[in-house]
Structure 1
Amino acid sequence: MTASDTLSPALKPPPPPFEAALEAVELELALGKRDTKQDLCEQIIRETVESVGGILLFQIRIGEGRDQRWLGAVAFAEEDRQEYAVISIPCDGSPIEVTPVTQSSLPLASLAVAYANLAQCWAKSRTQGTLETA
């Protein structure tokens, strides 16, 4: 037996720091205090995100029956950049999660960043007068 046989396997590097971690935790706690009944969930998500200083990019209800959940994407302004997170609210009463897109396994996470970039380009082109509207 050699020394390398007794060493622990290499550890994965930690995920990149999420600058908006406090805002994400605050959002998760605030959503957890709300009654997220299906008929009011859309409004509750929007109001709660705004109350913690976030920007709701989009939200959607997916699934059927017990698998149904609300998903949303939120942006937090951090000094010179944006941080993005995914909100997951299961309709079966399971815990609410707010996860940084860099740590989320949901396909919605990559869509959140792409959508935010598209919205920023669209807003910039409108202010510069380069986008024609119908």
Structure 2
Amino acid sequence: MAEQLDEQELENSLAESLAELVPDKGETVTQDAFAEVVDGALEAVGGRLLFKMQVEADGQRQHVAAASVGDGDQRQFLLLTLPVDGGALKVETAAKSTSPAAGIAAAYAGLMDVLQAAA
């Protein structure tokens, strides 16, 4: 239960702190604008960007970014989603997300860890 509370606090904290950076609905969100929002989010929580992309879900184009926060057993994976035509930023832990990108986040982080160790 405490883990879920921590996840919810993390999601809420990010969403609240980024509300000012998110363009209003109807304003097209460029990849650069989305990158600024994601960078602000990750800076606020000491996170690391894993990847970002643009996808179509339910007939709507969206920017999606996956990030990791924390290390080792305490590491959590986040998904940040923002419609290309503006609107609300959705922040959720990958564990609770139904997005296909959520399943990629942990695998991608593992690959990054291996590549970083080899470098």
Structures share fold, TM-score greater than 0.5 = yes
Q: Which has the bigger relative contact order, CA under 8 A and spacing at least 6? A: 2
- Counterpart residue number, 1:41: 34
The residue type paired with residue 26 of structure 1 is S
How far has the Cα of 1:19 moved from its partner? 3.9
How many matched pairs?
Answer: 111
Identity %: 22
Whole-Å Cα distance in 2 between the matches of residues 79 and 25 of structure 1? Answer: 23
Q: Quick check: 2:22–2:86 contact (8 Å CA) kept in 1?
A: no
Task: Identify which of 39, 50, 56 aligns with 1:57.
Answer: 50
Secondary structure of the corresponding residue to residue 103 of structure 1: coil
- Counterpart residue number, 1:69: 62
- Counterpart residue number, 1:125: 118
The residue type paired with residue 34 of structure 1 is L
- Normalising by structure 2, we get a TM-score of 0.76
Note the residue ranges of structure 1 that are not aligned, 5 or more in a row: 1-13, 127-134
Whole-Å Cα distance in 1 between the matches of residues 95 and 5 of structure 2? Answer: 8
Secondary structure of the corresponding residue to residue 95 of structure 2: helix
- Counterpart residue number, 1:88: 81
Give every structure 1 segment of 4 or more consecutive aligned residues whose post-TM-superposition deviation is greater than 4 Å. none
How far has the Cα of 1:119 moved from its partner? 0.5
Whole-Å Cα distance in 2 between the matches of residues 79 and 114 of structure 1? Answer: 14
Whole-Å Cα distance in 2 between the matches of residues 17 and 125 of structure 1? Answer: 34
Whole-Å Cα distance in 2 between the matches of residues 24 and 101 of structure 1? Answer: 11
How far has the Cα of 1:116 moved from its partner? 0.3
- Counterpart residue number, 2:13: 26
**RMSD value, Cα:** 2.6
